[in-house]
Amino acid sequence: MFLNASGCLDALTAPDVARSLDGFVTKTVTPEARAGNAPVRIAETDFGMVNAIGLANPGRDAFVADTLPRLRSLGVPLWVSVGGFSAHDYAATCAVLDDVTIELNLSCPNVDEAPESAAEIVRACREATSSTLYAKVSPHSWDMGETARAIEAAGADGISMINTLKGVTLDATLRPALARGAGGYSGPALRPVALAAVMAARRATDLPIVGMGGVETGRHALDLIACGATQVALGTVLFADPDAPSRIRAELEQELSAHGFDTPADAFCAALKTVASLENSRKR
């Protein structure tokens, strides 16, 4: 199952791209409208980009009244990314969303974070809604397994990983290219970080995992599946290649065949099984 990473695709501007996915993830919605951070908000790097958009969005009421009905008309399963600055913010937005999957943005590097822990926010949202809840987590945790277990215990139905890493790039005058200074770094260099995070989380939980981070080819998607991802999200690649979903889907089929697998399910956790086998051999 292929999704887009939140904020990397405008389905109303590019509906055909959205329809080539198995589900569309909205840009993060907050209780109040946000203009976002001051420009410059996006800058390219050698191996990706940094952004500090700052959760620009029309706010919960306008999203539910106007944007959501227009997105439903596309006929694509919808995931709504929910953000906020307290557990109450998150829960209040979740409470007014129906017939969508909710992805809790718990790890945006471009705004101030809620004071509550990820597990506390998930727990508050679980009490507010019966909708499917995914928690999108930061790659900065040294123990992703512990994070996964805490989120599962709090009531999440799935995990999305990873969000961007905090990064800085400088312009020709040696000033930060972004007005905010630091931003969220995304692109190919995130792949090893994403694979490690997915593998660690998979060893700790049986929850569905949306793996993302630098996916550009079918082989990259297969790598995430082999580490334990049940779904794959495409991010930065969509800015340069709107045909990426169809291309990567076809490439994945070729990669599966080349490795002797009939379906993605056959390749699920293939890398993790190798690690477990090595660990068992060392214990003998």
Catalytic machinery residues? 108
What are the residues whose beta carbons fall under 8 Å from the beta carbon of 239, sequence distance 6 or more?
A: 8, 49
- Can you tell me the distance from the alpha carbon of 213 to that of 189, in angstroms, rounded to the nearest whole number? 8
Residue 202 identity (one-letter amino acid): R
What are the residues whose beta carbons fall under 8 Å from the beta carbon of 27, sequence distance 6 or more?
A: 6, 7, 10, 55, 56, 57, 81
Q: What is the DSSP letter of 27?
A: P
Please report, for residues 75, 190, 219, 267, 272, the alpha-carbon distance to residue 223 in angstroms, rounded to integers and kept in the order given: 29, 13, 6, 9, 11
Number of CB atoms found within 10 A of residue 44's CB:
13
